[in-house]
Homo-oligomer: A and B are copies of this chain.
Amino acid sequence: MKKTAPKTRSITVSDVARAANVSKATAARVLGGYGVVSDMIRTDVMAAAKALDYRPNELARSMTTGRSGIIGVVVGDIENPFFSLAVRGISDAARAAGFNVILANSGERIEVEKAAVRLLIGKRVDGLIVTPSESRDISHLRDIHRSGRPLALLDRALPDLDVDTVTVDDRGIAMRATRILADAGHRNIAYVTAVDAAGHEYRDLGQIYTSSVRERIDGFLTVCRDAGIDRPENHVRLGATSPAETRRVADKLLSGPNRPTAILASDSVIALEIFKVIRQRGLRIPEDISLITFHDADWTSVTTPPITVIDQPVYALGKSVAELLIRRLKGDPRPAERLILPTSIVERGSVGPPTNREL
């Protein structure tokens, strides 16, 4: 009767050592690729390992070494092309350096983000990359820092947290985009963002806890005021958290008595829904309404007309933040770096002069 192997106990160093007639320590040296062993013994152990089909238990390895070779990444929403491209950049940089990535998405909810961070720390990731969904409550991020694991921030800076950070100049680029609109003659410009606040109505910057969005709104408002626009705050629309919500916001925006002649969208997912609503209402771009969006998503170049976009270097953003983190993992003692990547605007065909409905 053959051996009935009911429970698949996996092959360990001890098993290999026994088969190769050496001590556990020696087998471990060969299998772990450390220390020093004679070529003869090495060959024997390797042969035994192959014969038994030995697979190292990375868990056990991580436990003793304290290193897992894993980088934890917490982003807002993997489905958003912005994040999936950034994650791609992170993964590529990580793999190149021999690290792996474990991904969690927070859905932009602080509670989920906290849970994810806690879990990743528990899994003893070597370092974390986070897109903090809120600047108010960052205790969990401080905890990471305190736990001795390096943390790097992606796309959103936190002034209070002195860690490696890679962002773009959100304020500046929002200003440039807004100026394009203002220069085209627009005086009724709306800004639509996914970020929400108590009351769902924009009042002031103090309500906005997502740093990148606050920067953008700040830039937007600054240029609007410069252009002599009265009460531009009234044209900031919050809460485009999902396609359905975005449609609601866009519908309200476009059906009101004081319909804007131009819209600046905070991300491409929002812009896509706005575009659909515009189409659906029979409005023309750019004759009836001008549109600029953050993120050079696929679709923006194939619409008629193609959309003018703020082209953030998303892949590079991910790649850079990963590289910064890895540098830190390797023991780089330099003070925290705040990298701001250059951003450009791709002018396409979605901006034109406003048609003056008042006249």
Chain A positions near chain B (C-beta within 8 angstroms) = 8, 10, 55-60, 62-63, 68, 70, 78-79, 81, 84-85, 87-88, 91, 100-105, 118-119, 121-124, 146-148, 272, 275-276, 279, 297-299, 301-304
Contacts and interface: CB of A to CB of B under 8 A. Distances in A.
Contacts of A58: 119, 122-124
10 contacts: A8-B146, A8-B148, A59-B68, A59-B123, A70-B123, A78-B91, A91-B105, A101-B104, A275-B302, A297-B298
Q: Pick from A87, A148, A297, A302 the residue with the most CB of B within 10 Å.
A: A302
A197 to B, nearest CB: 26
Contact of A88 (B79, B87, B279, B302): B79
A36 B101 CA distance: 37
A257 to B, nearest CB: 28
A79 B85 contact: yes
A57 B102 contact: no
Contacts of A78: 84, 87-88, 91
A301 B60 CA distance: 50
A334 B206 CA distance: 56
Contacts of A123: 58-59, 70, 100
Contacts of A119: 58, 100
A136 to B, nearest CB: 21
A55 B122 contact: yes
A124 B91 contact: no
A227 B8 CA distance: 54
Given A55-B121, A63-B63, A102-B102, 20 more contacts: A10-B147, A55-B147, A57-B63, A58-B119, A58-B122, A59-B59, A59-B62, A59-B63, A59-B68, A78-B87, A81-B81, A84-B84, A88-B105, A91-B105, A272-B302, A297-B298, A297-B299, A299-B299, A299-B302, A299-B303
